[in-house]
């Protein structure tokens, strides 16, 4: 194993690292966080981006919770959603999106430098969805945001939105959860566990302490991404789009293989393998009913308006999971179902339909704000 004691190179991690161009990122310290498992994560930095202006009443803030491989730059991963006249209208609202703890795009995570001067690596603690939300609360406090008009997110972001509704109803007007669930299912955990094993089986993983090597576990993360991407899309799309076509190059690959290779390469350029594991483990921990008397009891306790959005072809978060939320939450709006050929990724592709759902959620939240 070749060791490099300097700054990790691009073959080691795609994480944003100190000294990199911050671009539009802003950074704020939120102190320490007592995690669910009893450990303390010290001296936390949150990277975030914002759009629009907080009004004098302080009642026009929106919190966007990004999905697993998303980050604070919402327009980069959720096109046609943020801007003047768009669903998250920057002429009307103050929109915030923080990178989650455990992330790799500026917030404290496994690739960050720990208090002892070394990168966390394998020492980064296990985090849960509730830990992420507690960090978001501390982030909001640090910025002086007392209440959000809307907390919204797809997938992992939708999990966090639900936790906001259960834990902190007094600090939100409404939530919108898109292609998400109240609890991680056995199928999701099973698929995720294979992805984690792929990363840990990479000879460059080194039990998570690979930042001083010349190479990181990109092959393992690439395999994980290929598996995950198939769960994000649909069987019919893969067959219609690629079928049995060959790529037509010297590799002899099928076209669908080339497509998945491309997805793996793209992720490696902007993501970190330890973060992939940390956030996947967090999603596996998701259960709004834990220590609350079960899922039904937790959902029935919600008192703020909830807009639930489902994608009819989603095989990672099948529609029955959104039906469960909409039927058990007493304040839920009628379920919104988006028809898409693109499965779970429909929340990224179906901009018009998703935008309409967000506008509806904001209209619902406005009624609460005006009371």
- The CA distance from 13 to 204, in Å, is 11
Angle, vertex CA 323, rays to CA 232 and CA 287, nearest 5 = 75
Residue 327 contacts residue 218 (beta carbons within 8 Å):
no
Q: Does the active-site annotation cover 50?
A: no
Burial 169-182 (b: 16+ CB within 10 A, else e): eebbbbbbbbbbbb
Computed on alpha carbons and rounded to an integer, the radius of gyration of the chain in Å comes to 20
Q: Does the active-site annotation cover 155?
A: yes
Catalytic residue among 107, 112, 140, 155: 155
Tokens standing for residue 34: 């007592």
- Whose CA is closest to 93, among 51, 49, 147? 51
Tokens standing for residue 86: 């768009």
- The CA distance from 110 to 108, in Å, is 7
- Whose CA is closest to 105, among 66, 155, 150, 53? 66
Q: Does the active-site annotation cover 11?
A: no
Catalytic residue among 314, 326, 340, 345: 314
* Three-class SS state of 149: strand
What are the E-state strand segments in the chain? 26-34, 40-51, 61-64, 82-83, 88-89, 94-98, 148-154, 172-178, 306-311, 336-338
- The CA distance from 318 to 311, in Å, is 8
Catalytic residue among 202, 326, 344, 345: 344
Catalytic residues: 155, 314, 344
């Amino acid at each position: 194993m070749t060791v490099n004691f300097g700054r990790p190179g691009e073959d080691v991690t795609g994480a944003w690292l100190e000294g990199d161009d911050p671009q539009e990122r802003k950074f704020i310290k939120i102190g320490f966080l007592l995690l669910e498992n009893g450990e303390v994560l010290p001296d936390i930095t949150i990277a975030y981006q914002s759009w629009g202006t907080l009004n004098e009443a302080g009642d026009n803030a929106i919190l966007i919770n990004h999905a697993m491989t998303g980050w604070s730059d919402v327009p980069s991963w959720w096109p046609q959603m943020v801007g003047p006249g768009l669903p998250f209208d920057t002429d009307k609202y103050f929109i915030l999106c923080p990178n989650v703890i455990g992330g790799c795009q500026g917030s404290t995570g496994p690739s960050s430098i720990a208090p002892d001067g070394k990168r966390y690596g394998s020492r980064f603690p296990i985090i849960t969805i509730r830990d992420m939300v507690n960090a978001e609360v501390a982030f909001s406090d640090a910025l002086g945001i007392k209440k959000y008009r809307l907390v919204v997110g797809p997938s992992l972001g939708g999990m966090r939105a639900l936790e906001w509704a259960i834990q902190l109803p007094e600090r939100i007007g409404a939530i919108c959860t898109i292609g998400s669930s109240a609890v991680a299912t056995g199928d999701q955990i099973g698929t995720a566990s294979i992805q984690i094993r792929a990363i840990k089986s990479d000879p460059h993983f080194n039990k998570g302490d690979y930042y001083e090597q010349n190479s990181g576990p990109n092959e393992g993360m690439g395999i994980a991404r290929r598996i995950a991407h198939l769960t994000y899309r649909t069987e019919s799309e893969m067959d219609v789009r690629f079928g049995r076509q060959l790529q037509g190059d010297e590799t002899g690959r099928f076209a669908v293989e080339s497509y998945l290779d491309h997805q793996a390469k793209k992720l490696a350029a902007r993501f970190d393998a330890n973060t992939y594991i940390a956030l996947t483990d967090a999603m596996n921990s998701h259960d709004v009913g834990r220590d609350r008397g079960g899922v039904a009891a937790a959902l029935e306790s919600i008192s703020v308006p909830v807009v639930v959005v489902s994608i009819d072809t989603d095989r990672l978060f099948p529609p029955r999971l959104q039906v469960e939320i909409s039927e058990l939450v007493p304040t839920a709006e009628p379920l919104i179902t988006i028809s898409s050929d693109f499965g779970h990724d429909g929340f990224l592709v179906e901009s018009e339909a998703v935008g309409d759902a967000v506008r509806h959620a904001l209209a619902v939240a406005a009624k609460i704000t005006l009371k």
